[in-house]
Amino acid sequence: MPKLFFALPLPELAPELATWRDQRPWPGQPVPESNLHLTLAFLGEADETTQARLIAAAERQHCPPFSVHLDQTGWFQRAKAAWVGPGEWPNELTVLARALRRHGEKLGLGNGEQGYRPHVTLSRKAGEAPGELPAPDFLLRADRFCLYQSVSTPDGVHYEPLACWPLRARVKKPHREELTP
Ligand code: 3AM
């Protein structure tokens, strides 16, 4: 069964982030540019029926577009992942990530972790944190999110989008009085 996760794609930022990383000392093994993403919710292995249910739930998910300023570096010691991420982030991102995690949990998916720390992993197998560097300064304009599957190939893992949805605010239904002339 494929491993799934929800994430924000980074079509414009991925090349910039990869170039930025490659121009300075950065620990660990670089994540290929085509794999860069900002995870919203880790789901894990899911069969086809569960996938279809996830897709149906994601289709009904509303969230207005938002921007995230990637202005920090960091390191997850246990996962050995070195990353860039926001110091502060909009509530929309927290709410979207939580809603997607809950969709997964209702289907028995996820890893049980409750906290959410947005980040873009730039390298893995990093034995140390990124050193003292000029702070990153990237603006992620999020306007869609995707359900990805991890595909293992002889060249390493690839993340393939199974489906993507635009970020759109819920359309407020007008009150009855507003409808009558
Ligand atoms: O690149 P990031 O860190 O955003 O770390 C994995 C990656 O996220 C994460 O899922 C994304 C795609 O593989 N991941 C893998 N296994 C995980 C687990 N057991 C996990 N996240 C949480 N728990």
Cβ-proximal residues to 80 (8 Å cutoff; 6+ apart), any chain: 28, 124, 125, 126, 127
Q: 27: helix, coil or strand?
A: coil
Whether residue 111 has its Cβ less than 6 Å from ligand 1: yes
Can you tell me the distance from the alpha carbon of 160 to that of 1, in angstroms, rounded to the nearest whole number?
14
Question: Is 119 annotated as catalytic?
Answer: yes
Would you write out the chain's pLDDT as a tens digit for each of its 181 residues?
889 999 999 999 999 999 999 999 999 999 999 999 999 999 999 999 999 999 999 999 999 999 999 999 999 999 999 999 999 999 999 999 999 999 999 999 998 888 899 999 999 999 999 998 889 999 999 999 999 999 999 989 999 999 999 999 988 777 776 666 6
Q: Which helix (H) or strand (E) holds 175?
A: none
State the distance from the centre of ligand 1 to the C-alpha of 121, rounded, in angstroms: 9
Question: Is 37 annotated as catalytic?
Answer: yes
Q: Which helix (H) or strand (E) holds 82?
A: strand 81-85
